[in-house]
Amino acid sequence: MGPQRSYGREATQAAFLLGGIGTGNVSIGSRGDLRDWEIFNRSAKGQKLSYSFFSIAMRRPDGETVAHVLESRLVPPFADSHGIDPNQVAGLPRLEDSSLWGEYPFVYVDFEDESLPLEIQLEAYTPFIPHEPDESGLPVAVLTYRVVNTGSEAVDVTIVGSLMNAVGWTGMADFGRVKTDCFGGNVNEYLEEDGLKGLHLTSGKHPEGSLLHGSLALATTNPKTTVKRHWLRSGWWDYIREFWDDLADDGVLTDLGYTEPSEEGKYDVGSLGVVETIGPGESAEFRFVLSWYFPNRVHNWDQRKADGSCGCDCEQEAVRNRYAARFNSAWEVSKYLVENLERLEELTRTFHGALFNSTLPAHVLDAVSSNITVIRSPTCFWLEDGRFFGYEGCFDDAGCCSGSCTHVWNYAQTLAFLFPSLERSMRETEFGVETNEEGWMSFRAHHAFPSDRSWDEMEAASDGQCGSVIRLYRDWRLSGDTDWMKSLWPGARRAVDYACATWDPDGDGVTSGKQHNTYDIEFYGPNPLSGVMFLGALKAASRMAQEAGDAEASKRYLDLLERGSVNLDGALWNGEFYVQRLDDVDAYKYQHGVGCLADQLLGQVNAHIAGLGYLLPTDHVKGAIGSVFRHNLLTDFSEHDNAQRTYALNDEVGLLACTWPEGGRPRIPFPYSHEVWTGIEYQVAAHLIMEGHVDEGLAVVKAVRDRHDGVRRGPWNEVECGHHYARSMASWGVLLALSGFSFDVVEGEIGFDPVINADEFRCFWSTGTAWGTYSQTRNPETGGLAWDVDVLHGSLEGVKVKVEEP
């Protein structure tokens, strides 16, 4: 509840990603700037697109015109080796200040400048409709500037978007110059079609199958435009001079009349302006549609293979993006968007309202919504054939840690609830492609999508493989699609049997031996991470086996679960939490031993979310997760001695991956033991809330988001082993936990049991078939509870709603 945080221009890490699923992105920075142009099928943090920015010119009745770059002023440092590059037009006047806030998928920037009688606000978004991945997968951004004239006379306001024709883009060279090798034959056209007017930027140089093939478009639905298709073709920075003088003179652009494509090694910048006359006290909207179309991505997990060190004629095998199946150019994308704008925008606003018009705490909404970004970041991609893949996260310039890694995506909940078909595509890959005849599952999907590195010799990941079984169960219960579950059951059964044979050879239901896991090492012997996840997999598998008509397996798994639950609890419970049992914790490197592992109950929280219930004694589970909070939440890091990577420091607050409250730290504990991962923090927060430790769970969420304040870290970019890290999508679990949401579309029932603001509660929900809002209000006089489920998309036909009356 309450408004989202806003970020001033000093919040240099606040970058709000626009762009659809599998389309790449351009971000809006806290100064209202366009930044991080990641439209070329890979991440590109810090990548600026030269001369691509908005400007505003205001012309008074007497003709006096003032022009500004439509960004607020730059913030330090200003220490670039050659001054700030002209391609950022940093030397042109800007507005005094700005303030950005985001409510995904919408971002707003308020500009302030006392010298202008104008109030200027930018709203930007890319259509986002849960359960409609195609409509949420458009390579486009809608940017609407709303300008109010607060002065006493009418003024003409021109807002101009400038955009380089980046078809042929291969990066930056020295002196702030663009690498020019692959430019030439670039064409900037001005088109008007069905209420859409604007620039279409193409090139004849790169054939359809080329990684460099593509187009961009900058268009508007406003009627009155002013256009400069090409900036001055000249040396030095003459073109900026000419553009700025032209704009600042009278707010009207002059087309320079060029008719030829760009010369070899050259590109052009084009500018599209919208002009509105605004009377005193009146306002106007300037709507721009920015679209891009780079349909081909390199057919390899190593995106740096696309670096083009072999020049423009590089022959790299390409594969097409999903959006390429629907469109042939950026202009077509813009046309489609405008033709369908009413529906796309309405449903996007419906989702936004459903999520944010909620009584959940603001920082929870922040955590839940901001990490949706991962799905539409360069961490993920989506192919023409419908398959969805994800890295773990991103380097600055490429995806990092390939293969929809099962043990990382294990923590993610967001995708399953917002785009369940895409989440199911990952199960299809896991059980349909990556699980071999012996049941060994490659925890990185490199059979489904190629990699130069072979993972075939790698151990299976016990947490990832067992976690996928739980997730299969979750996705089945969410969708109610039993046929789909059954189609994957053979693979899942092999995977479960492999897990039993490999990690529980003695059949006591407690995993032992060498257990590779998400810490990139192997745990040995009985340990809670592997062990509890295994129990969850057994419970899920037992139920799925039953439904698949595999009664023998179902019973076998259930028996093993019952044994395992007792045995694991007996072996690992230390009275306060679950520990790893090893006679000599230093016999192997990288164990945790008697440490308090934050992830000790990951299997349990995932089981809870999937609807599998308790795997271990309830009181022990409740106690253990409480112990994790008590021991692992560090409220000041200044004396923490972490020899690993640093995600929290100084006076920050964060939840440690492991602590040793009673001593007993191994000489060399597992890598990451001293680190702080938001994905762990969220799963623990969700679990704390589920087990009744609501305040504790909220405190953990608050700690995470306080660290991501735009100055220290990006609010829409929770980093772990890469930007936009998939594990951060554990944050969706916090929404599930606070609303007490349960679902079983197979059985036809969903339920709510809010644990916060229960007297006046509103929250978003989704299943695999529908989404909407749930609200309940307690009558303060009668004590009775009135509740309502509003289905905003899809259908709950045949599904009952169960509300817990206290």
- Scanning residues 94 to 113, which ones bind a second copy (CB under 8 A)? 94, 96
Return the residue matching tokens 């046309």.
Answer: 335
Among residue numbers 584 through 603, which ones bind a second copy (CB under 8 A)?
Answer: 589-590
Using rule CB under 8 A, residue 785 touches a second copy:
no
Choice between 83 and 280, CB closer to a second copy = 83
Instruction: Choose among 54, 11, 282: nearest CA to 148.
Output: 282
Using rule CB under 8 A, residue 82 touches a second copy:
yes
Give the 3-state secondary structure of residue 744.
Answer: strand
Among 60, 146, 233, 241, binds a second copy (CB under 8 A): 241
Using rule CB under 8 A, residue 783 touches a second copy:
no
Using rule CB under 8 A, residue 234 touches a second copy:
yes
Among 260, 639, 797, 805, binds a second copy (CB under 8 A): 639
Cβ-proximal residues to 190 (8 Å cutoff; 6+ apart), any chain: 197, 198, 199, 200, 227, 229, 255, 272
Q: Which stretch binds a second copy (CB under 8 A): 70-78, 194-202, 688-696, 779-787?
A: 70-78
Return the residue matching tokens 């001293």.
Answer: 674
Q: How far is the CB of 252 from a second copy (least distance, A)?
A: 17
Instruction: Choose among 733, 736, 730, 762: nearest CA to 751.
Output: 736
Q: How far is the CB of 696 from a second copy (least distance, A)?
A: 24
Q: How far is the CB of 226 from a second copy (least distance, A)?
A: 19
The encoded tokens of residue 525 equal 């012997």
Whether residue 105 has a cis bond before it, omega within 30° of 0: yes
Return the residue matching tokens 């308020």.
Answer: 110
DSSP string, 17-29: EE--TTT-EEEEE
Q: Which stretch binds a second copy (CB under 8 A): 194-202, 310-318, 395-403, 756-764?
A: 395-403
Among residue numbers 508 through 547, which ones bind a second copy (CB under 8 A)?
Answer: 521
> How many whole angstroms separate alpha carbon 426 and alpha carbon 719?
22
Among 61, 62, 152, 174, binds a second copy (CB under 8 A): 174
Q: How far is the CB of 167 from a second copy (least distance, A)?
A: 25
Using rule CB under 8 A, residue 641 touches a second copy:
yes
Choice between 86 and 184, CB closer to a second copy = 86
Choice between 77 and 311, CB closer to a second copy = 77
Q: Which stretch binds a second copy (CB under 8 A): 55-63, 205-213, 446-454, 641-649?
A: 641-649
Among residue numbers 669 through 688, which ones bind a second copy (CB under 8 A)?
Answer: 669, 671, 674-675
Give residue 159's identity as a one-letter amino acid code. Answer: I
Task: Give the x-and-dash track for 692-711 against a second copy (CB under 8 A).
Answer: -------------------x
Among residue numbers 294 through 323, which ones bind a second copy (CB under 8 A)?
Answer: none
Among 1, 8, 60, 74, binds a second copy (CB under 8 A): 74
Choice between 176 and 420, CB closer to a second copy = 176
Using rule CB under 8 A, residue 486 touches a second copy:
no
Choice between 320 and 589, CB closer to a second copy = 589
Among 91, 204, 280, 664, binds a second copy (CB under 8 A): 91
Among 647, 716, 761, 765, binds a second copy (CB under 8 A): 647
Using rule CB under 8 A, residue 86 touches a second copy:
yes
Among 421, 482, 642, 777, binds a second copy (CB under 8 A): 642
Q: Which stretch binds a second copy (CB under 8 A): 86-94, 368-376, 419-427, 736-744?
A: 86-94
DSSP string, 89-127: TTTS-EESEEEEEEETTEEEEEEE-TTSSEEEEEEEE--
Residue 339 carries which DSSP code? H
Contact by Cβ (8 Å): 780, 770:
no
Choice between 603 and 715, CB closer to a second copy = 715
Q: How far is the CB of 182 from a second copy (least distance, A)?
A: 20
Q: Which stretch binds a second copy (CB under 8 A): 132-140, 313-321, 601-609, 634-642?
A: 634-642
Q: How far is the CB of 667 from a second copy (least distance, A)?
A: 8
Residue 454 exposed, middle or buried by CB count within 10 Å (0-12, 13-18, 19+): exposed
Among 4, 12, 50, 303, binds a second copy (CB under 8 A): 12
Angle at 331 between CA 326 and CA 337, to 5 degrees: 65
Give residue 646's identity as a one-letter amino acid code. Answer: T
Using rule CB under 8 A, residue 256 touches a second copy:
no
Which residues in 329-351 are b (16+ Cβ under 10 Å) and which e?
Answer: bbbbbbbbbbeebeebbebbebb
Which residues in 495-519 are b (16+ Cβ under 10 Å) and which e?
Answer: bbbbbbebbbeeebbbbbbebbbbb
Q: How many residues bind a second copy (CB under 8 A)?
A: 74
Contact by Cβ (8 Å): 168, 352:
no
Instruction: Choose among 576, 588, 584, 578: nearest CA to 670.
Output: 588
Among 1, 6, 8, 85, binds a second copy (CB under 8 A): 85
389 backbone φψ class: left, alpha, beta (φ>0; ψ -120 to 50): beta
Q: How far is the CB of 290 from a second copy (least distance, A)?
A: 23
Choice between 561 and 721, CB closer to a second copy = 721
Using rule CB under 8 A, residue 92 touches a second copy:
yes
Choice between 24 and 669, CB closer to a second copy = 669
> How many whole angstroms separate alpha carbon 380 and alpha carbon 23?
9
Using rule CB under 8 A, residue 437 touches a second copy:
no
Give residue 63's identity as a one-letter amino acid code. Answer: G
> How many whole angstroms separate alpha carbon 18 and alpha carbon 294?
16
Contact by Cβ (8 Å): 681, 703:
yes
Q: How far is the CB of 243 from a second copy (least distance, A)?
A: 8
Q: How far is the CB of 298 from a second copy (least distance, A)?
A: 17
Q: How far is the CB of 559 from a second copy (least distance, A)?
A: 39
Contact by Cβ (8 Å): 437, 494:
yes
Q: How far is the CB of 521 from a second copy (least distance, A)?
A: 8
Q: How far is the CB of 10 from a second copy (least distance, A)?
A: 10
Choice between 236 and 806, CB closer to a second copy = 236
Instruction: Choose among 749, 609, 605: nearest CA to 685.
Output: 605
Contact by Cβ (8 Å): 329, 202:
yes
343 backbone φψ class: left, alpha, beta (φ>0; ψ -120 to 50): alpha
Q: How far is the CB of 233 from a second copy (least distance, A)?
A: 13
Among 29, 722, 740, 751, binds a second copy (CB under 8 A): 722
Using rule CB under 8 A, residue 59 touches a second copy:
no
> In whole angstroms, what separates CA 95 from the centre of its chain?
30
Choice between 32 and 176, CB closer to a second copy = 176
**Residue 152: other Cβ atoms inside 10 A:** 8
Choice between 719 and 738, CB closer to a second copy = 719
Using rule CB under 8 A, residue 487 touches a second copy:
no
What are phi and psi for residue 17, nearest 5 degrees? -80, 125
Using rule CB under 8 A, residue 266 touches a second copy:
no
